[in-house]
Amino acid sequence: EGGGAMAAAGSGRPGPAALALLGLLPGAPTCPHGPALLFVKTSQGKEEGRRFYACSACRDRKDCNFFQWEDEKVSETRLAAREEYNRNHQPSFTHRQNVDRYKNFVLLPLSKRRFCQECQQLLLPAEWEEHSDHQFLCDITTAQLKSPSQLLHPLENKKTNAQYLFADRSCQFLLNLLIDLGFRRVLSVGTPRLHEMIQSKASQEEFSVRSLLLDIDFRYSQFYTEDEFCHYNMFNHHFFGGEAAHETCRKFLSEENGERVIMVTDPPFGGLVEALASSFKKLMAMWKETEKEGHDYKEMPMFWIFPYFFESRILDFFPSFSMMDYQVDYDNHALYKHGKTGRRQSPVRIFTNLTPSMIVLPEEEGYRFCTVCQRYVSSGNQHCEICNSCTSKDGRRWKHCVLCKKCVKPSWFHCDSCKCCTLQKHSCEKRDVGCFVCGEAGHKRSACPSLSRT
Ligand code: SAH
Ligand code: ZN
Ligand code: ZN
Ligand code: ZN
Ligand code: ZN
């Protein structure tokens, strides 16, 4: 019950017992992470399942154990206790206070600039005492303050808020790409490293790109003003800073001076695609509502960075999107980082509503343009004459199966008794529907190895 709802929900596939997301309802109860989401738990043979609310942001009950049956009567006392709990679980400093603290911090000589590693907080001299038995870093330079993603340790909680930071090469590629496409404003949703790259360039040279970071990681409020960072939950479109923060975002999205906006997002992979899609549609609507002299685009341009095996789920919600072959690499990712001994293939891709032919991928990394498909593809991705498309999803060369009438992974074989292509090693009787996330048999979505990134 309760926490952990996110791990299991979202497949939409009827199973013996299933969890499905019903979404964000007006009047939903709130936890410290904003309005809770409504889920339904169905058990086999029963038409209607019992509906309950659970935290939108946390997949692990340990992080937030909010739970309430939809039809449950909540007493006044419990409501009051909950409100108090929510208040106590807000950060100890407000964003405003953090901005003021930063101003004081930069006035300090280098020798007095300390960062508490345990509290993940910049310390002012008067606070040293309180943190005396904590580990801290000294002599925090301006360069360090400009790279908070290097200073802060990446949140590692696998289930709720694992942070996987872009490798410099991928981050640079994304930034150059969007500049070449003519964008001057970037709404960075869960992409602190991209935001940071833009911010530090903007302060150095003549550089006209601006970024607004929306992220649930409040530690970033120590380094950015209210115009640069909004504490935001992308699973329920909740702005913790209330109407003022909402307005900051709205203003950023209005394309003043003809500065075109693109949204770039790299959400946690374990999350619910439908909850993300619903929030992103709200951000798109905010963009659309801003008055301007006619948009160049019908929709707010977007890069949604996500693993390729979510392609069909993303296209369900955003039919105008297509998946690019570019493999996004990460720094703190044991599996997907670009190693010395050739590249471990990253499954992470860019989904975009921009015209695919406009997304130019680096030829020096092996990408080439397919004139039939009118898009850049991986070097291993062969154009299949029968499918009339470059069909590989994972970068390896796929093969066409005439019986299945489609291209399949190179490691698959056509099994006559199952009447489909699958791994050679499988048992025909036990036809496992397979993992919802990656399609492989033998494990469930919640245990998918593709999702545990370390
Ligand atoms: N590759 C990106 C980081 C992606 S990791 C980069 O290098 O910039 C996922 C990011 O989403 C993290 O910054 C994390 O703090 C943020 N995040 C996780 N859950 C979130 C939520 N519910 N709402 C908003 N942001 C969230
Ligand atoms: Zn401390
Ligand atoms: Zn092709
Ligand atoms: Zn086949
Ligand atoms: Zn078989």
Atom of ligand 1 nearest to the CA of 33: 22
Ligand nearest to the CA of 232: 1
Please indicate, yes or no, whether residues 220 and 366 belong to a single structural domain of this protein: yes
Which ligand has an atom closest to residue 427 CA? 5
Q: Of 338, 360, 379, which closes a domain?
A: 379
Enumerate residues 6+ apart whose C-beta is below 8 A from 377: 325, 367, 368, 369, 370, 383, 390, 392
Q: Which residues surround ligand 4, an ion (CB under 5 A)?
A: 401, 403-404, 414, 421
Q: For ligand 1, is residue 190 a contact (CB within 6 Å)?
A: yes
Residue-wise pLDDT for 263-320, tens only, equals: 999 999 876 899 999 999 999 999 999 866 666 778 999 999 999 999 999 999 999 9
Q: What is the enclosing helix (H) or strand (E) of 81?
A: helix 76-88
Distance 373 CA to ligand 1 centre (A): 32
- Ligand 1 pocket, 191 CB below 6 A? yes
The answer to the question of residue 390 being in a domain is no
Closest CA to 398 of 387, 407, 389: 407
Q: Which of 217, 236, 326 to mutate to test the pocket of ligand 1 (most atoms within 8 A of CB)?
A: 217
Q: 301 in the Ramachandran plot: left (φ > 0), alpha (ψ -120 to 50) or beta?
A: beta
- Ligand 1 contact, 215 CB (< 6 A): yes
- The distance from CA 369 to its chain's CA centroid, rounded to whole angstroms, is 28
Q: Is 194 in the pocket of ligand 1 (CB under 6 A)?
A: yes
35 lines ligand 1 (CB under 6 A): no
Ligand nearest to the CA of residue 371, numbered in listed order: 3
Pocket mutation for ligand 1, best pick of 266, 303, 346 (most atoms within 8 Å of C-beta): 266
* Chain centre distance of CA 147: 20
396 occurs within a structural domain: no
Establish whether residue 174 lines the binding site of ligand 1, counting it when its CB lies within 6 angstroms of any ligand atom.
no
13 token code pair: 């596939």
Quick check: CB of 68 below 6 Å from ligand 1? no
Residues with CB under 5 Å of ion ligand 3 are 370, 372-373, 383, 390
Alpha carbon distance 93, 78 (integer Å): 26
Choosing from 89, 109, 125, the residue where a domain stops is 89
- Tell me the CATH number at 272: 3.40.50
Distance from Cα 400 to the centre of ligand 4, integer Å: 8
Cα of 100 from ligand 3 centre, angstroms: 54
Using a 6 Å cutoff on CB, does residue 234 contact ligand 1?
yes
Regarding the beta carbon of 271 and ligand 1, being less than 6 Å apart is answered no
Chunk the chain into consecutive blocks of 10 residues (it has 454) and report each block's average pLDDT, rounded to whole numbers.
Answer: 44 57 92 95 74 90 89 94 93 96 98 96 97 96 96 76 88 97 97 96 86 97 98 97 97 87 93 92 94 75 96 96 96 57 75 98 95 96 96 93 95 91 82 61 63 44
Of the three residues 379, 396, 415, the one that is the final residue of a domain is: 379
DSSP 144-205: HHT-HHHHSPPP--TTT----PBPHHHHHHHHHHHHHTT--EEEEES-HHHHHHHHHHHHHS
Closest CA to 220 of 329, 166, 145: 145
Per-residue pLDDT, 350: 98
| Co-location of 72 and 118 in the same domain | no
**Domain check: are 134 and 282 in the same one?**
no
pLDDT given for residue 336 in this prediction:
52
423 CA distance to ligand 5 middle (Å): 9
Residue 413 maps to a domain: no
- Assess whether 217 and 312 both reside in one domain: yes
Domains: count for the chain: 4
Residue 33 within a domain: yes
Nearest ligand 1 atom to the CA of 165 is: 7
Same-domain status, 31 and 75: yes
Residue 150, in any domain of the structure: no
Q: Which of 224, 300, 225 is nearest to 255 (CA)?
A: 300
Both 338 and 294 in one domain: the answer is yes
**Is 387 a member of any domain?**
no
Residue nearest to atom 11 of ligand 1 (CA): 190
Claim to verify: residue 281 and residue 355 sit in the same structural domain = yes
265 ligand 1 Cβ < 6 A? no
Same domain, 80 and 122: no
Tokens 């910049």 locate to 122
The answer to whether the CB of 269 is under 6 A from ligand 1 is no
Residue 394 domain flag: no
Q: Is residue 84 part of a domain?
A: yes
Place of tokens 């640079």: 172
CA dihedral sign, ordered 441, 444, 445, 449:
negative
Whether residues 445 and 311 fall in one domain:
no
Q: How far is the CA of 302 from the CAs of 177, 321, 350, 394, in angstroms? A: 12, 9, 9, 22
Is the shortest distance between the CB of 32 and ligand 1 below 6 Å? no
404-424 burial, b at 16+ Cβ within 10 Å, e below that, comes to eebbbbeebeeeeeeeebbee
| pLDDT value for 447 | 64
Q: Which of 387, 364, 384, 367 lies closest to 376, judged by CA? A: 367
Residues 280 and 359 in one domain: yes
Same structural domain for residues 122 and 232? Answer: no
| Residue in the structure block whose two tokens are 């070449």 | 180
Pocket test for ligand 1, best of 60, 215, 280 (most atoms within 8 A of CB): 215
Is residue 67 domain-shared with residue 134, that is, in the same domain? Answer: no
Whole-model pTM: value is 0.90
Q: Which domain, by its residues, includes 439?
A: 429-453
| Ligand that lies nearest to the alpha carbon of residue 421, given by its number in the listed order | 4
Nearest to 378 by CA among 341, 340, 334, 347: 347
Number of residues that this document lists for the chain: 454
